[in-house]
Amino acid sequence: QAQLVQSGAEVKKPGASVKVSCKPSGYTFTSYGLTWVRQAPGQGLEWMGWISAYYGSTIYAQKFQDRVTLTTDTSTSTAYMDLRSLGFDDTAVYYCARGSGRHLDYWGQGTLVTVSS
């Protein structure tokens, strides 16, 4: 049974950056891609991007193209989402999820990022 464990909640000031980690277990890390999704308070799900854990190749949503970087560390089997130039509207729960085919079969517990002055 796959499990994805994310890092804890963060509070950041406007203009700062945040780095959220995601550590899967229960499967071979490099066999699946990882997708990042966010959800603002009371809002819907928003697809941010995807990374191949094997090749490190990435695809980003146009909206986040200039501000987000997805990486993986195969030595520790950990994925990271780095979001820069934070604004108040980046306050959200950020999820990582395992990509299996064209769907997301296992999700992390979510990481709340709060942007506050």
105 binds other proteins (CB under 8 A): yes
Selected from 16, 47, 54, 91, the binder of other proteins by CB under 8 A is 47
21 binds other proteins (CB under 8 A): no
Phi-psi map region of 77: left, alpha, beta (phi>0 left; psi -120 to 50 alpha) = left
Would you list the DSSP string of 91-108? -EEEEEEEEETTEEEEEB
Contact 93, 34 (CB under 8 A): no
Pattern 55-94, binding to other proteins, x per CB under 8 A? ----x-xxx-------------------------------
41 binds other proteins (CB under 8 A): no
Rounded CA separation 59/48 (Å): 9
Interface residues toward other proteins, by CB under 8 A: 35, 37, 44-47, 50, 59, 61-63, 95, 97, 101-105, 107-110
